[in-house]
Structure 1
Amino acid sequence: MLAATAVSQSASDPLSGLMLGDVPKPEVRPGWSLVRVLASSLNMHDVWTLRGVGHPADQLPRILGCDAAGYDEDGNAVVVYPIIASADRGRGDETIDPQRALLSERHDGAFAEWLTVPTRNLVPKPEGLSFDEAACLPVAWGTAYRMLFTQAAIKAGDRVLVQGAGGGVASAAIKLALAAGAVVYATSRSETKRKLAESWGARTVESGGRLPEKVDVVVETVGEATWSHSLKCLRPGGTLVVAGATSGYNPPADLGRVFYQQQRILGSTGCTRTEFVDLLRMMTSTGARPVVDRTMPLADIHQGFQLMIDGDLTGKVVVNPPKETA
């Protein structure tokens, strides 16, 4: 079968380690299921793996890809919940299982014609979602859902600031918060991305710009570059939820502001399977949908990753494996 595999790592030239070629079809172990992948989507996690960030070289080669939608062995349309973990070890929450692994970390991922995952990771695909749309959801939208509704517990009328409107998690957070009835502010250095967020219903400002009011919740995935602005925009007693730091991991602490204004800073990673099911239900009931920047065959995956690295996207890149089985 055709697959995109990380075979080496390079901080300066990550795509040099991504090999496209034929590999054996995976064997199914007990308790796992085989999925015929119809669509997968690109995530920065794949790029970090190719750069050698957070992924040991001794775990290579590894088929990449964290998101997948397709058919199980019985012909059922499914979306793959991307965290392979035990809810029992996480005291009911897979995201805090110390042995958890995102798909493609310790198990081959979704950039292939076939994929095997634990059977519990298969979730029925709602009829109203296309396979391409469904493949955009597991990592980015699942992360945004947990940030907003589990960690920050937003409700209709809350004021929410989302930093970096062009990112996958950020764009998902904008759409989900709007669907929940929140007032959403979004920042971006790009006028094009600000206009896109405005077309969804968000109110936008340039990165670092002054908001007309303090917000109840900040969704932070940028990190060092926006951290100070996030805290300044947050009302006393408000909540900042952080799930990433694409611009750096060492922001100014500003502890005086945090404790004097009793601001809450919460970390968030991924989502539970239950939260993912709730996300799919919310999308069915509200009509919220991901933005697909473009689709391309798996054979063109290097081009898709280059667009992501260059920042030339306003949504997700979806890749489709060949229709013929191997």
Structure 2
Amino acid sequence: MHAIRTGAVRVLVLLAILLTGLSAPRAQASAQPFRVLALYNGTWDAAHISFVHEANDWFPRQAAQNGFSYTASNNWDLLANGGVNGYQVVLFLDDLPQSAAQRTGFERYMRGGGAWMGFHVSAFTTDAQSWPWYHDQFLGSGNFKSNTWGPTTAVLRVEDRTHPSTRNLPATFTSSVSEWYSWSNDLRRNPDIRILASVDPSSFPLGTDPDQSWYSGYYPILWTNTKYRMLYADFGHNAMDYDTDTTLSSTFASRTQNRFLLDGLKWLGATASSHPHARAEPEPHWRSLR
């Protein structure tokens, strides 16, 4: 009997090893690394430049343990010439496409299955009709309407805790410091827009300049358009001492806000297996294209 039991145990152990081996490729496939391209301008407004420097330091440090590689470039023509097609996710750090070819290329990339995360000034415009697909349809925000000043933290209310980017967030949290924008379009009226977080009323008054503060109202801060793989975040403007060009705050100071960034990026990167232009060759976790 002892021999029979020992033999049975050995068979079970062998079966477990075989099953583990069979399941391993699936686990590896689900965690397949994805490639991120961050586009930036880096030449105007010291607060935006400060954020670009921070982003190009913070994201590479997160890359290895979060399953992505990170490339930064100030060459926006990568959108126009097909250079963007080798990346699963594109970030706009402090600007948006300016030329017709860049804009056409970005729209083609998004309609073709690409993914995008934009920050703060990447949505700024006072002439939405110059690119209606981007400002009115894709972002849904329309024109810039107002802003708070100076840059401050805000208490944000998470409106949708079922989305992959927000499911690990608490009901409310304190953001990092930023200047905050409002928009001409009411995003609540757009059926394609899913608002993920907005300014909680406990934040009011929001701002330090009485003439540029919000005292009441509804202000979306994080949202997605359900027709695309995209996320917009209305932060990315550090507090600055403009006289000395000294950074006074960090966009990555809030751990909870950082959780949104990383969870959101992983959700966007999940398009890797379905993106028609995805390339699988390995690369360093950080590099810069000029």
TM-score (norm: length of structure 2): 0.28
Bigger strand fraction: 1
State the TM-score, normalized to the length of structure 1.
0.25
Compare the two structures and name the one with the higher helix fraction: 2
Larger radius of gyration: 2
